Amino acid sequence: MRPFARGALAVFFVTAGAIHFLRPTPYLAIMPRFVPWPAALVAASGAAEIIGGLGVLFPWSRRAAGFGLIALLVAVFPANIQAIASGMNIGGWRVPAWLLWLRLPVQGLFVAWVYTTCLRAKASA
């Protein structure tokens, strides 16, 4: 089961990271106002997701990738709060408020997924 979880985690983060480059507008719209260089940070977070997603696939990089992905999930949490405060549109569709609120605890589930897949005992096996 663990190899499947790692593969799914890798696909999730690589895909999410690629979307930051292909469709950056929704991410730019939810950047908190206090964050400098929003476009550069959207690109950097996308690159970090891709690198972290690939990193979970290899035993020698899995632990570092896990720590990096958890740090990234914590770092982007203010953008989730900003999405609730200002709303979010994806492809002309306004994301419902309840879905934006649901995103907050789901972020915790992603942290747990990364932790159990990459950092928990025997995760490097």
pLDDT of 45-61, one tens digit each?
Answer: 999 999 999 999 999 99
Task: Report pTM.
Answer: 0.87
pLDDT score of 1: 63
3-state secondary structure the chain: CHHHHHHHHHHHHHHHHHHHHHCCHHHHHCCCCCCCCHHHHHHHHHHHHHHHHHHCCCHHHHHHHHHHHHHHHHHCHHHHHHHHHHCCEECCEECCHHHHHHHHHHHHHHHHHHHHHHHCCCCCC
